[in-house]
Amino acid sequence: MKKLLLGLLLGVIVVLLWQYFFKKEEDHSKLSENTTLIEQEIKNVGKLVVTEGYFSEILTYQDAKKYLNNWISFDKKALVVINAEATISYDLHQLRYEIDEPHKVVRLLYIPKEELKIYPKIQYYDIEESSFNPFTAEDHNKIHKRVIELISRKIEQSSFRSNAQNRLLTELSKIFILTHSMGWILEYTDIPIEKESDLLVPIKK
């Protein structure tokens, strides 16, 4: 009888030990799978996020060369029509993060600054110039600089940047949804992200 009880006790111990180590191995395997899945999703989100916009403007460029106390003037001017394409992008391949497996936390450490690029198409109309004051490369450089400044001001007065931030939020939300669906926590600037609007914390520059 004692041998039977001892045998049953040993059997129970073996079963418990087997279940303990098997479950531990299974949990570790699942944790590793979740980590791999999260890393893959972050890589997928790490594409270039681009917002495009188109701006039009008209300006008049004038310049004059004066001689003999302004008695003689050689003028030049042109009507300048601008059609510009502008883009704001976030190169999320530069996104820095760390994965804390034991605590199931994904920490976003750094989100790169947005990049604004302007591609103006400049056309000239009603050009007036003289042989003593013709249009030169310097004039075209001045016009190009004024165009960039003008379009940049229009962009700052528009919702262009906020639209780009919304696009960025949409991409980062994919990480938020994935981590929460698997019971993980997403953090940025040491703040837990509990809802999508929490991603709108100030971006570190």
Least confident of 22-31, 64-73, 110-119: 22-31
Per-residue pLDDT at 111 exceeds 50: yes
Per-residue pLDDT at 180 exceeds 90: no
Q: What is the pLDDT of residue 3?
A: 52
Residue 148's pLDDT band, with cuts at 50, 70 and 90, is very high
C-alpha distance across the termini of the chain, in Å: 76
Give mean pLDDT, residues 105-132.
90
Number of neighbours of residue 28 by Cβ within 10 angstroms = 11
Q: What is the pLDDT of residue 22?
A: 43
Per-residue pLDDT at 203 exceeds 60: no
Q: What is the pLDDT of residue 54?
A: 93
Per-residue pLDDT at 186 exceeds 50: yes
Q: What is the pLDDT of residue 143?
A: 94
Burial of 110 (0-12, 13-18, 19+ CB in 10 A): middle
pLDDT mean across residues, the chain: 79
Per-residue pLDDT at 204 exceeds 80: no
Q: Highest mean pLDDT: which of 22-31, 37-46, 81-90, 91-100?
A: 81-90
Burial of 111 (0-12, 13-18, 19+ CB in 10 A): buried
Question: 184: which residues sit within 8 A by CB, 6+ positions away?
Answer: 34, 38, 104, 105, 106
Q: What is the pLDDT of residues 18-60, one digit of tens each?
A: 444 444 444 456 667 778 887 887 777 766 777 889 999 999 9
Q: What is the pLDDT of residue 2?
A: 52
Which is more confident, 5 or 66? 66
Per-residue pLDDT at 120 exceeds 50: yes
